[in-house]
A and B are shown apart, each in its own frame.
Chain A
Amino acid sequence: MMVAIADEISGLEGRGRYRALVARRILILSGLIAALFLSVAVDMALGPANYPLADVLTALFSSDTVTDQLRVVIWDIRMPIALMAVTVGASLSVAGAQMQTILANPLASPFTLGISAAAGFGAALGLVAGVAVFPVAVQYMVPLNAFLMAMLAALFIHFASTMHGVTVETIVLLGIALVFTFNAALSLLEYLASEQALAAVVFWTMGSLTKATWPKVWITAAVLIVAVPLFARHAWALTALRLGDDKAASFGINVRRLRLETMLIVSLLAAIPVSFVGTIGFVGLVGPHIARMLVGEDQRFFLPASVLCGALLLSVTSVVSKMIIPGAVLPIGIITALVGVPFFFVLIFTNRRRAW
């Protein structure tokens, strides 16, 4: 195959160079998959007791040959947390990627547009006041409250964006207004909360993977597994949105419907993880930007790259959160920015021409 590609390049035709570009992108995606696998393995090796990577791999692929204790630690305790990092990172990153695409806004992400803040307020309503926004299944009150408030915020942003005369700048300002509003409401609840409830709210808003369970992993993964193919089906149309609404419409795309469908799926993708693990900022903003710098905005590559970049970013963050203070796991929401920012700076300054 490499010989064939080389032959085509030597012809210096556009199609040969295009095939080479595609091959390079597939290589980048493969590299991201390998890095993600390694990061997840390291994540599972680290904890109160550190295991050699070889033992982790043996426990994963030949679990009968390891001790019961190692099998239980890897499969039942560490794997849900490690995979939660992957699914949450991937979900938030894809949600951010598609928000940036449909709102034509590089600052769009669940965090910057107030969706995470809304979820935080919803969770605090349950934790502090015992108010269930959706008064069914009271045992799931906190995640359900968070989810419903996040959905409301996402839909508000969507419908505001479709109003006549609303610009990209207006959407950012609306998002900032939502962040301030929900944070103020959250502060009010914290001020009124009991000491115990306050501690619970503060911990929740920091974001933490430690409460991950298999059912939460499955639900988050299921939403991702349903959402990504739905986006993939519209890969060409979503890419065309980046050329502007008029241009996309001229290609025969029903821009309004595509935007609404995408925002509904994005709302789910953004709300579910936040409702389970709390506020984790940055991944939804930076994951897509890193993906964009690596593979451009053709959604056939940008979509999987966003999934992988978000998953890798949060998985690496999970590893780092265990290494800073030996024996302790810091809330991952604190670490995401600390890990992501330096990496992001390097990419921006080495790849300026291709940034948004």
Chain B
Amino acid sequence: MVALRLDAVGATYGRRTVLSGIDTGTLRGGGLTAVIGPNAAGKSTLFKRIAGLAAGPGLVHLTDTEKGPETICYMPQDTGANAVLTVYESVLLSAKQGSGWKVKNGELAEIDRVLAALRIDDLAFRGLGELSGGQRQLVSIAQALVRKPEVLLMDEPTSALDLFRQIEVLGFMKRLAEQSGMAVLIALHDLNHALRYCDDTIVISGGSVAASGPTHQVITAEMLKSVYRVEARVESCSHGRPVIIVDDSIPLR
């Protein structure tokens, strides 16, 4: 099963340092890892740096795989609403990068399979511009999955989804990671989703790691207060699951 480890990873845009000294333990495939933190903390930049799309110091160690860095797939928030392409074409586009014009039946069968798994096969021949934000997020996930990555970096994939779709997508990704051995890092704003679906959590704040480890150890009242400036409790619900109960936000200075 693939394993990922970050060693003193940083990221720079020109002369500006956006991330520095990001270390993680070994993140093994087969589960979800939440990457959380306030807005502009550097979560997207971290994903771009891991995927080789941003420059910076440090090392990204990828082990227990026969593939190279191309097996890391970054799924940005950008969903390309203006493109005059059908859903099917946009997924094909992802699968065909770097290869010839000819499209084989096997490649199309794979697209059919991915769209059906995400239950968006009924949207296959709708234009991207005709879809809701949530539907486009699902198409974005399909574009990533069709590349068969071993490490998937999902940048706020649930941000435009309704509650049912959020639960459906996170549940699907968790099952997929468990079955395929894929390592999935997900940037999330809903910390209750992180508590429910993610085995491990990395907290990014101000361009560095504020905390990391098993999710239930990382998401604590103290962390919520110091990183998010929110007074909250983490308690067990009637089903025994941990949930965050927000009491108040700390007034802005």
Binding site for B on A (CB under 8 A): 13-15, 17-19, 21-22, 104, 164, 232, 235-237, 239-240, 242-247, 249-253, 292-293, 296-298, 300, 353-356
Q: Give the residue of A235, A246, A293 whose beta carbon is less than 8 angstroms from that of B78.
A: A246
A117 CB, nearest partner CB in chain B, Å? 27
Instruction: Classify chain B: how many residues form its interface, as a range.
Output: 35 or more
A15, B51: Cα distance in complex, Å: 31
Top 3 closest pairs, chain A to chain B, by CB: A243-B80, A15-B108, A244-B78
Find chain A residues with CB under 8 A from B70 CB.
252
Decide yes or no whether B159 CB sits under 8 A from chain A: no
A297, B115: Cα distance in complex, Å: 21
27 residue pairs bridging A and B, Cβ less than 8 Å apart: A14-B88, A14-B111, A14-B124, A15-B112, A17-B88, A18-B89, A19-B108, A21-B86, A164-B14, A236-B99, A242-B80, A243-B80, A243-B83, A243-B93, A244-B79, A245-B78, A246-B78, A247-B78, A247-B79, A250-B53, A250-B144, A251-B97, A252-B70, A252-B98, A297-B85, A354-B84, A355-B84
Q: Give the residue of B85, B96, B144 whose beta carbon is less than 8 angstroms from that of A242.
A: B85
Q: Give the residue of B82, B112, B125, B127 whose beta carbon is less than 8 angstroms from that of A21.
A: B125
Do B98 and A250 have beta carbons less than 8 Å apart? Answer: no
Decide yes or no whether B101 CB sits under 8 A from chain A: yes
A292, B108: Cα distance in complex, Å: 23
B85 CB, nearest partner CB in chain A, Å? 6
A236, B140: Cα distance in complex, Å: 17
A163 CB, nearest partner CB in chain B, Å? 12
Find chain A residues with CB under 8 A from B74 CB.
246, 249-250
Decide yes or no whether B186 CB sits under 8 A from chain A: no
A235, B111: Cα distance in complex, Å: 19
Beta-carbon nearest neighbor of B87 in chain A = A14
Do A298 and B85 have beta carbons less than 8 Å apart? Answer: yes
A15, B130: Cα distance in complex, Å: 21
Find chain B residues with CB under 8 A from A13 CB.
112
Decide yes or no whether B34 CB sits under 8 A from chain A: no
Decide yes or no whether B75 CB sits under 8 A from chain A: yes
Do B80 and A17 have beta carbons less than 8 Å apart? Answer: no
Find chain B residues with CB under 8 A from A240 CB.
93-94, 97
Find chain A residues with CB under 8 A from B103 CB.
18, 22
Find chain A residues with CB under 8 A from B76 CB.
244, 246-247, 250
B228 CB, nearest partner CB in chain A, Å? 26
Do B97 and A236 have beta carbons less than 8 Å apart? Answer: yes
Q: Give the residue of B82, B109, B130 whose beta carbon is less than 8 angstroms from that of A353.
A: B130
Do B84 and A296 have beta carbons less than 8 Å apart? Answer: yes
Q: How many A-B contacts are there with CB distance less than 8 Å?
A: 108
Beta-carbon nearest neighbor of A255 in chain B = B53
A296 CB, nearest partner CB in chain B, Å? 5
Do B127 and A354 have beta carbons less than 8 Å apart? Answer: yes
Decide yes or no whether B121 CB sits under 8 A from chain A: yes
Do A237 and B97 have beta carbons less than 8 Å apart? Answer: yes
Find chain B residues with CB under 8 A from A250 CB.
51, 53, 73-76, 144
Find chain A residues with CB under 8 A from B124 CB.
14, 17
Do A235 and B85 have beta carbons less than 8 Å apart? Answer: no
Given contacts A249-B53, A353-B129, contact A297 B97 (CB under 8 A): no
Beta-carbon nearest neighbor of B14 in chain A = A164
Do B112 and A17 have beta carbons less than 8 Å apart? Answer: no
| Complex interface bits, B138-154 against A, C-beta within 8 A gives 1, otherwise 0 | 00100110000000000
Find chain B residues with CB under 8 A from A21 CB.
86, 125
Decide yes or no whether B105 CB sits under 8 A from chain A: yes
Decide yes or no whether B208 CB sits under 8 A from chain A: no
Q: Give the residue of A14, A22, A353, A355 whose beta carbon is less than 8 angstroms from that of B115.
A: A14
A301, B144: Cα distance in complex, Å: 24
A191, B76: Cα distance in complex, Å: 54
Find chain A residues with CB under 8 A from B205 CB.
none
Decide yes or no whether B90 CB sits under 8 A from chain A: yes
Find chain A residues with CB under 8 A from B130 CB.
353
Q: Give the residue of A232, A239, A292, A354 whose beta carbon is less than 8 angstroms from that of B93.
A: A239
Find chain B residues with CB under 8 A from A247 CB.
76, 78-80, 140, 143
Find chain A residues with CB under 8 A from B73 CB.
250
A347 CB, nearest partner CB in chain B, Å? 13
| Complex interface bits, B229-247 against A, C-beta within 8 A gives 1, otherwise 0 | 0000000000000000000
Do A14 and B121 have beta carbons less than 8 Å apart? Answer: yes
A13, B124: Cα distance in complex, Å: 10
Q: Give the residue of B51, B82, B93 whose beta carbon is less than 8 angstroms from that of A356.
A: B82
Find chain A residues with CB under 8 A from B78 CB.
243-247
Find chain A residues with CB under 8 A from B80 CB.
242-244, 247
Do B82 and A242 have beta carbons less than 8 Å apart? Answer: yes
A251, B98: Cα distance in complex, Å: 9
B151 CB, nearest partner CB in chain A, Å? 13
A320, B30: Cα distance in complex, Å: 67
Beta-carbon nearest neighbor of B128 in chain A = A243
A236, B90: Cα distance in complex, Å: 10
Do B93 and A236 have beta carbons less than 8 Å apart? Answer: yes
A58 CB, nearest partner CB in chain B, Å? 38
Do A242 and B83 have beta carbons less than 8 Å apart? Answer: yes
Beta-carbon nearest neighbor of A289 in chain B = B84
Given contacts A235-B101, A236-B97, A249-B53, contact A15 B111 (CB under 8 A): yes
In chain B, positions 97-137 with a C-beta closer than 8 Å to chain A are 97-99, 101, 103, 105, 108-109, 111-112, 115, 121, 124-125, 127, 129-130
